Amino acid sequence: MSKSPPESSRSNPAAHLATGATMDENAGNGDLFSLPGLSRPSPHGGFPPHELFPQVAYELVHDELLLDGTSRMNLATFCTTWVDDQARRLMAESLDKNIVDKDEYPQTAALEQRCVRMLADLWHAPDPGSTLGTSTTGSSEAAMLGGLAAKFRWRAAGGTGTPNLVSGPVQVCWEKFCRYFDVELRQIPLRGDRYTLHADDLAAHCDENTIAVVPTFGQTFTGLFEDVAAISAELDRLHAAGGPDIPIHVDAASGGFLAPFTAPDLVWDFRLPRVKSINASGHKTGLAPLGVGWAIWREAADLPRELIFDVDYLGGSMPTFNLNFSRPGGQAITQYYEFIRLGRAGYTRVQSAISVVARHFARGLAEAGPFTLIHDGHPSAGITAVSWRLDGPQDFNLYDLSDRLRARGWLIAAYPLPHDRQDETIMRAVFRHGFTIDMADQLLADVRRALDQLARHPVRSSLTRDEAGGFTHDARPAVPVTPPGPR
């Protein structure tokens, strides 16, 4: 396609210029950035009419992504931002493996099943060998499956009214589940100093149409654990007093891979008979790469048969109960790698190390400025995150602080609390595998620098939430939820 420049100019790229030759775009001199495609803006609008050399297209995409934040400095995300070389290799080697082709890739299917058994064991299912579970694209899909199972069980038990789901302040996936599948979401309002769902609020919100109570084991807003054991005990009490027998689904997106290792005595899982299903994100504290979550049922009977499809057109007969069909297999494969590579001892070591970093940051932050800690990262209180609010009236807000830190590359979410406490802004930093004490110290130095700057150059008009950037991870429905009508 491109004509080679004469030998003399190839050995000395400037030679043809010296002889007066023009640099023809199509002739090129071998330099990537003088190739056609890189001297024009990249295609943005309609479907691109022409092709590009792969190295040119790669460079365009690669360079545009320089404007993205640095993932390891992103303390707004809960998700994996560091994996070792072996995990990267397994991901690359499984690029072409579709997890749904269980007949064609039986070993991928076997590894996924082993992960299900391992999680059922980790979360104390009565018979880990026989229960059901599946990998998913994340906790959101796993939550949908847990919610659907609860809805189908409620209906099978004779439920006929408008189903409802009772929770504290939940992650947006539960708002989605309720909207998409016509369930009324009863999020119990926060009272007083409470940030979490409290058992003594349940009686007023539960009834015979409650398909499940969903405690969040590691809240998105604060990082705090909701007290699953107390919630379970209260539901026991309601049932014993003649009320409905309401199951629990635990949203353990982050907590499910932390508490078993760093707070093993905390009872939140299948040790409580009322807990029928659990979701967790393998790609958060599970340490797997992005794109895997898990849904596990207490016993096979807790997953209604109607949700399971047998697909046979790929050869063999394959039970599936996912919302997706085709999906990459590498994530579940790499999850299995992490499980066997680290085991209980390794996970305990890794998660404890992050917890030390989180608490180190919390101590430094409390000394740095007018902040009150909501969660200090203690492993029996919540996930490896720190959340805080600003004390008293200040002439800056947390969006201003978030913006100052962003100038140094740190991405830390500031956002209003849910619903009834919208006037209160909080900030949260999630610490993950790969974040060192040294990085925490540098972040603290930048917090102090930002506070100093804000004090010396008072903010005349503080930033609003929208101006501070849209990376807060607490998406809410764009339109208010209309409660589903009876059917």
Ligand X SMILES: *Cc1c(COP(=O)(O)O)cnc(C)c1O
CA 343 to CA 261: how far, in whole Å? 10
**Least distance to ligand X from the beta carbon of 140, Å?**
3
Q: Are strands 275-281 and 293-297 parallel, antiparallel or unpaired?
A: antiparallel
Closer to ligand X by Cβ: residue 331 or 397: 331
Closer to ligand X by Cβ: residue 159 or 416: 416
DSSP 297: E
**Least distance to ligand X from the beta carbon of 408, Å?**
26
Q: Which chain residues interact with ligand X by CB under 6 A? A: 78, 138-140, 143, 171, 173, 216, 218, 220, 251, 253-254, 281, 293
Give the residue closest to ligand X by C-beta: 138
**Least distance to ligand X from the beta carbon of 118, Å?**
19
Amino acid at 235: L
Closer to ligand X by Cβ: residue 262 or 394: 262
Q: How far apart are the first and last CA of the chain?
A: 66
Closer to ligand X by Cβ: residue 29 or 220: 220
DSSP string, 145-170: HHHHHHHHHHHHTT--S--EEEESS-
CA 168 to CA 172: how far, in whole Å? 12
**Least distance to ligand X from the beta carbon of 53, Å?**
36
CA 341 to CA 356: how far, in whole Å? 22
**Least distance to ligand X from the beta carbon of 218, Å?**
6
Closer to ligand X by Cβ: residue 251 or 338: 251
CA 428 to CA 218: how far, in whole Å? 13
Closer to ligand X by Cβ: residue 408 or 473: 473
Closer to ligand X by Cβ: residue 455 or 481: 481
Task: For residue 290, give the nearest of 137, 119, 127 by alpha carbon.
Answer: 137
The first and second tokens of residue 139, run together, are 């906790």
**Least distance to ligand X from the beta carbon of 238, Å?**
24
Distance (Å) of CA 216 to CA 37, 226, 315, 320, 446: 50, 6, 40, 26, 32
Closer to ligand X by Cβ: residue 446 or 474: 474
Please list the residues that pair with 279 across neighbouring strands. 251, 295
**Least distance to ligand X from the beta carbon of 146, Å?**
11
**Least distance to ligand X from the beta carbon of 284, Å?**
6
Task: For residue 374, give the nearest of 387, 359, 361 by alpha carbon.
Answer: 387
Q: How many CA within 13 A on the CB side of residue 34? A: 12
